[in-house]
Structure 1
Amino acid sequence: MKALFAVDHIFGRSADGAVFTIGGKFPYPAWQSYLDVFDQLTVVSRAIPLPDPAGQRRSDGPRVDFQLLPARRGIDRLRGIRDARKAIFAAVKQADVVIARLPSETALIACAAARFHGKPLSVVRTFGTTRGVD
């Protein structure tokens, strides 16, 4: 079974096509809990070119592939929304299930695509932490 994980994390792509997590949030071992359940995981997110990956951790690996969108910012992000939406809808169509990590524009589009294509959807919230609350 193929899962799609949508998130607005910025990954780095090296010249040879390898994918690295920027800031260390999503190294390859982070995908293991999904790989325990699914045969394949496609991560849909944003990326920047990474000319020198020294000090960064690999995020790609066996059974994990990436559909990376340009990491546009500000008004430029709005200009690319049509292309991003088209790419996300196409990726969701190929998946069996969608996992959306919110808050995330990419994940919100993936949610809409999952509904459109009739794919099961799981939403993971990453806001509203209780850190610092006794």
Structure 2
Amino acid sequence: QLQHAQPIHSLHIGNDGAAFVEVLVGSSSGGDFQVSFAALPNPPEPHPSLTRAWPVQVLLPSAALMSPSESRAGAEPRRVRLFGPDSLVKAAAQGGRDRLRVVLSQPYCQSRPYGLSFVRVFAAPGDEE
């Protein structure tokens, strides 16, 4: 949750072993919707975080933080990637958003934990950070 809704200019992401990152954005005033598993033959009990989700847009399409060989070897797991305006989906970045959902994956090495060190969100130059 960000302090207030505003357009997003760029992101700095500190990796800690994840191979891929995707960032979704939404608005706390955008309304809630229910995730339904009713169409499945044996519907699972949904996780509580899925039953009260918020509508999202892709801000940063899936981006590599590590190569497959680096992931398997555990080489350079802590890097910082800078994603400027050219990397972000313009329609999602320009609208006022105050919620981020960061999706990580590490399909190449499942024996090590992975995550992020930090995520910094920047407004357009001249706006408040």
Q: TM-score, normalised by structure 2?
A: 0.29
Q: TM-score, normalised by structure 1?
A: 0.28
Structure with the higher helix share, 1 or 2:
1
Bigger radius of gyration among the two: 2
